């Protein structure tokens, strides 16, 4: 699996393009805008986009859902608890930045423990609420995509509607049980590792 990272959209959220080298199938995680950049990478790699996965329903992670759906036969995935968020500009927060956005509805609603298999790419879904009710992490071989749960040196916000400090801390505690060498690809900022965050993330020191 090849992982390509793009910082896209108004919030410069990380979008990840996963490529299966054997089948040329592709997965996009959190397409937050600047759709042409995503499509250009897909075209350049002669890839077929099979899946669009939103780790949660906020605008900076869903803004290219519609355009990617129009330009592919990919299925759209999101956790069932955030399914209504992507179609509601107030819940997905786009209303509050003056650009109301209504995403197409998800094709597949996820739950904890689901496995998404695209070519030889296999992603395990972990429900990690706190930043939003339906926030998820995606775990593959040696890596985890955390959305806005965990960042290098920080954690996700818990002051949005539907957010919860108690839930986000429980979710963080769960993923901190993973091996230290697991690489963390988060929703914003640089990649890190589970071990690095256990050791140095100030938000985790007193709680976990």
Q: Which domain holds residue 105?
A: 2-205
The pLDDT value given to residue 141: 94
The pLDDT value given to residue 30: 98
The CATH number of the domain holding residue 116 is 3.60.15.10
Query: φ, ψ for residue 61 (rounded to 5)?
Result: -120, 0
Pairing of strands 115-118, 121-127: antiparallel
Provide the token pair at 144: 């985890």
The pLDDT value given to residue 96: 80
Taking the C-alpha atoms of residue 67 and residue 24, their distance in angstroms, rounded to an integer, is 21
DSSP 131: S
Instruction: Enumerate residue ranges in the chain where pLDDT < 50.
Output: none
- Give Rg (Cα) of the chain: 16
Q: What is the domain count for the chain?
A: 1
| pLDDT 10s digits, 5-27 | 999 987 899 999 999 999 999 99
Give the SS3 label for residue 192.
Answer: strand
């Amino acid at each position: 699996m090849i992982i390509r990272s793009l910082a896209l959209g108004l919030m410069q959220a990380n979008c990840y393009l996963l490529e299966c080298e054997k089948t040329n199938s592709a997965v996009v995680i959190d397409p937050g805008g600047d759709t042409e950049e995503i499509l250009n990478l897909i075209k350049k790699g002669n890839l077929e986009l099979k899946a669009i996965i939103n780790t949660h329903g906020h605008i900076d992670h869903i803004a290219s859902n519609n355009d990617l759906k129009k330009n592919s036969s990919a299925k759209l995935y999101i956790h069932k608890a955030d399914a209504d968020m992507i179609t509601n500009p107030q819940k997905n927060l786009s209303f509050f930045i003056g650009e109301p956005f209504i995403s197409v509805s998800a094709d597949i609603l996820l739950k904890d423990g689901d496995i998404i298999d695209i070519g030889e790419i296999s992603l395990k879904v972990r429900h990690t609420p706190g930043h939003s009710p339906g926030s998820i992490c995606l775990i593959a071989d040696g890596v985890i995509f955390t959305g806005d749960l965990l960042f290098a040196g920080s954690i996700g916000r818990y002051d949005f509607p539907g957010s919860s400090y108690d839930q986000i801390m429980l979710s963080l505690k769960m993923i901190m049980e993973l091996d230290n060498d697991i690489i963390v690809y988060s929703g914003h900022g640089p990649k890190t590792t589970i071990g690095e965050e256990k050791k140095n993330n100030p938000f985790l020191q007193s709680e976990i």
